[in-house]
Amino acid sequence: MIPIAASPITDGIAAVLAPDTLLVIGIGILIGMLVGAFPGVTATMAVALASGFTLTMEPTQGLAMLLTIYVAAQFGDRVPAILINTPGTPASISTTFDGYPLARQGKAGLALTTSAFGSAFGMLWGIAILAVAAVPLSAFAMQFGPPEMFALVVFGLTMMVGVSSGRIIKGLAAGAFGLFLATVGRDPITGDQRFTLGILELNGGIPFIAVIIGFFGVAEVLNQILTHRKSNRVQPITQMGQWMPGWKLMKRLSKPMGIGAATGSVVGLVPAVGGDIAGIIAWDNAKKASKRKHEFGKGSLEGLTAGDTASTATLGGSVTTTMALGVPGDSVMAVMIGSMMIWGIQPGPGLFSSHPDLIASLVTILLIATVLTLGLSLLRMKGVVKLLELPSHFLWVVILVFCMVGTYSINNSIFDVFMMLIFGMIGLFMLRFGFPPGPAVLGLILGPLAESNLRRALITDGWTSVFTSPIAMVLLLIAAAALILPPLRQLVKRRKAANEGKNVSATLP
C-alpha cells in the first residue's frame, strides 16, 4: 500500500476530525443554540465569555468552540424573533419583519423550518467564499508594507465607526478611547513604559479579554437589569402548525435565497458591516423583485428567507477579511482576534503562509457546525418555547458568574477581574449614552498594529511613504468616505424633507 503524503489540506481536516475537536464542536453547537434562543444574549457576548475558557485549549479546538458558537447562534436567534417578535441577536432583526406575523397566522413551524434552510444555505455560500477568496486575498495583502498596513488598520477602524447606527461622532469617540487604551503598557518600538501609573500588571498593556468580557458581558447584563420590565414580556406563540415546506414552496423560495446569498456575500466582505445590515438590505431587495410585494411585512416566507439567508452569508466574508487582512469583519471577529493573538496566531497577510493548514481547518469547522446545527434546528423542539418562558434574572446570575470565572481563569489574576468590572461599568455608560463598544474594542486590539507600522513608515521614508503608496491612498480615501458620506446623505435627506414640507404648505389654501 502506497502511503498518502500529508498536505496542509489533509492536516487541517484531520485536526478538526479528531475526537476531542468534534466533542468541542458539539458543545459549541449546544451553547450557540441556547445563546441565540435567549433574547439579549448576543453572539458577541457568548464568544467573549467562551474566549476566557478556550485560551487553555489547542488553537484548533479553541477556534472550533468560538466559531461553532457563532454559527449556532445564527440559527438559534431566529427562534425568539419568530415566536416572541424579539431578535435573539442583531442579525435576526429582519426575521421579525415576517417571522412573527407568520407565527400569529399559525405558521410558526413553517417559519422556523424555512428560516433554518435559508440560514444554512447562506452559511454554506459564505463558506464557499471563504474557501475561494481567503488565500488569494492574503497573497495580495502580502505585498503590504508598513504604510499599507497602517492604512488598512485605519480602514478597518473607520468602517466600524461609519456603520455605528448613524452615531459617527460617538463612534469616533469610542474608537479614540480604544486607541488610547492601546497605548497603555510598553512602547512597541522602544519598549519603554507608558501610562502604567506604576501598576506592575499594566506593563503588558490592558488585558483586552477582560475589557471585551466587561463590554459585551457585564455591561449588557447590567443594562438589561436596568431596562427590564415584566409588563413588556411577550408570551411565546405555542401553535406550531405545519413544519416541513413542500417542494413547490421551496422552489419558489430559491429566488429570495439567491438574492439573500448575493447580498450577504457582498456585505460580508466589507469590514464591520454585520448580518443585521445585510438582512435588512436583502429583505428590501427581495421585496422589489417579488410578485407578492403586498405580503412583505405581513407574513411573507420570501422576505423571511431572503433576510435570514443574507445575515448568515456574511459570515464567510467576515472570516475572510479577518483572517486574510487582520481587520475584523464584525464585533465577534474582533473578539476572536484577541483570542488568536494569545494562542500565538496573528491574523493578517502572513497568516496562511505561516499556517497553511488553517484554511482547511476553518472550512471544515464551519461545514460541520452548519450541517449539525441545521439538523438540530429541524427537530420539533417544544422545549424551546419553555426556555423562552424562563425568568431573565436566572440567566443574569449565570452570565455574571461565567464572566468572573472566565476572566480569572485566563491569568489566575484578581486584577483582571477588577479590570473587567471597571470596564463593565464603562461599557454600561457607553450603552446608556449611545456610544458603540465595537470601535473601542477594535481600537484596543488594532491600535498597537497601527502605531508600530506608522512609526516604521515614518522612520524609513517619512510621511511621503504613506501618501505615495497607491494602496494606502485608496484605503485612506475609502476610510474618509465611510466617515463623510453618511452625514452628507442624512443632510440631503433632511433638506429634501424640509423642501417637500414647504411645497406642501405652499399648496394649502
Give the number of domains in the chain.
Answer: 1
Q: What is the pLDDT of residue 25?
A: 92
Burial of 294 (C-beta count, 10 Å sphere; 0-12/13-18/19+): exposed
113: left (phi over 0), alpha (psi -120 to 50) or beta: alpha
- Average of pLDDT values for 456-484? 81
- Lowest-confidence segment of 46-50, 374-378, 391-395 by average pLDDT: 391-395
Strands 185-186 and 193-194 turn out to be antiparallel
Mean pLDDT, the chain, as a whole number? 79
Of 351 and 415, the one with more pLDDT: 415
- For the ranges 121-130, 167-176, 337-346, the maximum mean pLDDT occurs at 121-130
Q: Rounded to whole angstroms, what are the CA distances from 183 to 191, 195, 227, 344?
A: 12, 7, 34, 21
Q: Do the domain assignments include residue 503?
A: no
CB 54 within 8 A of CB 209: no
CB 352 within 8 A of CB 135: yes
Q: Rounded to whole angstroms, what are the CA distances from 191 to 204, 291, 333?
A: 10, 64, 28
Q: What is the pLDDT of residue 280?
A: 79
User: Residue 236: pLDDT above 60?
Assistant: no
Of 276 and 196, the one with more pLDDT: 196
Return d(Cα 361, Cα 8) in angstroms, integer. Answer: 9
Question: Predicted confidence band at 364 (pLDDT cuts at 50, 70, 90)?
Answer: very high
Q: Do the domain assignments include residue 97?
A: yes
Q: Do the domain assignments include residue 507?
A: no
User: Residue 164: pLDDT above 60?
Assistant: no
- For the ranges 141-150, 306-315, 342-351, the maximum mean pLDDT occurs at 306-315
Say which residues have a Cβ less than 8 Å from residue 299's Cβ, sequence separation at least 6.
Answer: 98, 101, 102, 104, 105, 107
- Lowest-confidence segment of 85-99, 176-190, 349-363, 426-440 by average pLDDT: 85-99
- Sign of the alpha-carbon dihedral angle for 300, 318, 481, 163: positive
Q: Please give the residue range of the domain that contains residue 94.
A: 8-498
Of 326 and 260, the one with more pLDDT: 260
Return d(Cα 218, Cα 399) in angstroms, integer. Answer: 8
Question: Predicted confidence band at 5 (pLDDT cuts at 50, 70, 90)?
Answer: very low
Return d(Cα 60, Cα 55) in angstroms, integer. Answer: 11
Return d(Cα 438, Cα 171) in angstroms, integer. Answer: 8
- Average of pLDDT values for 416-437? 88
- For the ranges 161-165, 248-252, 490-494, the maximum mean pLDDT occurs at 248-252
For 325, half-sphere exposure in the C-beta direction (CA atoms, 13 angstrom radius) is 30
Q: Do the domain assignments include residue 72?
A: yes
Q: Do the domain assignments include residue 295?
A: yes
Q: pLDDT exceeding 70 applies to what percent of the chain?
A: 85
**Cell triple for 170:** 460617538
The span from the first CA to the last CA of the chain, in angstroms, equals 95
- Average of pLDDT values for 74-94? 73
Going by C-alpha positions, the residue among 310, 7, 274 that lies closest to residue 160 is 274
Q: Do the domain assignments include residue 1?
A: no
- Residue 165 per-residue DSSP state: T
Q: Taking CA 123 as the corner, what is the angle to CA 118 and CA 129, rounded to the nearest 5 degrees? A: 130
**H or E element in which residue 480 lies:** helix 470-507
**Cell triple for 323:** 483572517
Return d(Cα 97, Cα 236) in angstroms, integer. Answer: 16
Say which residues have a Cβ less than 8 Å from residue 272's Cβ, sequence separation at least 6.
Answer: 156, 159, 160, 162, 163, 328, 329, 330, 438, 442
Question: Predicted confidence band at 22 (pLDDT cuts at 50, 70, 90)?
Answer: very high
CB 359 within 8 A of CB 352: yes
Write down the pTM of the prediction. Answer: 0.76
Question: Predicted confidence band at 243 (pLDDT cuts at 50, 70, 90)?
Answer: low
Q: What is the pLDDT of residue 3?
A: 45
How many residues make up the chain in this entry? 509
- Average of pLDDT values for 351-372? 86
Q: Do the domain assignments include residue 336?
A: yes
User: Residue 110: pLDDT above 70?
Assistant: yes
Q: Rounded to whole angstroms, what are the CA distances from 379 to 273, 314, 498?
A: 31, 25, 52
Q: Do the domain assignments include residue 3?
A: no
- What single string gives the DSSP state of each residue in 292-333? -GGGTTTS-HHHHHHHHHHHHHHHHHHHHHHHHHS--SSHHH
pLDDT, one tens digit per residue, over 195-224 is 888 888 888 888 877 887 888 778 878 887
Question: Predicted confidence band at 231 (pLDDT cuts at 50, 70, 90)?
Answer: very low
Question: Predicted confidence band at 382 (pLDDT cuts at 50, 70, 90)?
Answer: low
Rg of the chain on CA atoms, in Å? 23
Q: What is the pLDDT of residue 422?
A: 92
Q: Phi/psi of residue 137, each to 5°?
A: -65, -40
- Give the three-state DSSP class for 185: strand
Of 34 and 228, the one with more pLDDT: 34
User: Residue 368: pLDDT above 90?
Assistant: yes
User: Residue 147: pLDDT above 50?
Assistant: yes
Burial of 282 (C-beta count, 10 Å sphere; 0-12/13-18/19+): buried
**Cell triple for 225:** 437589569
Q: What is the pLDDT of residue 2?
A: 41
- What single string gives the DSSP state of each residue in 360-401? HHHHHHHHHHHHHHHHHHTS--THHHHHHTS-HHHHHHHHHH
Q: What is the pLDDT of residue 384?
A: 59
pLDDT, one tens digit per residue, over 281-339 is 888 888 888 888 888 888 788 888 888 888 888 888 888 888 887 777 677 787 788 77
Q: What is the pLDDT of residue 1?
A: 37
User: Residue 168: pLDDT above 70?
Assistant: yes
- For the ranges 263-267, 316-320, 366-370, the maximum mean pLDDT occurs at 366-370
- Residue 107 per-residue DSSP state: -
CB 326 within 8 A of CB 39: no
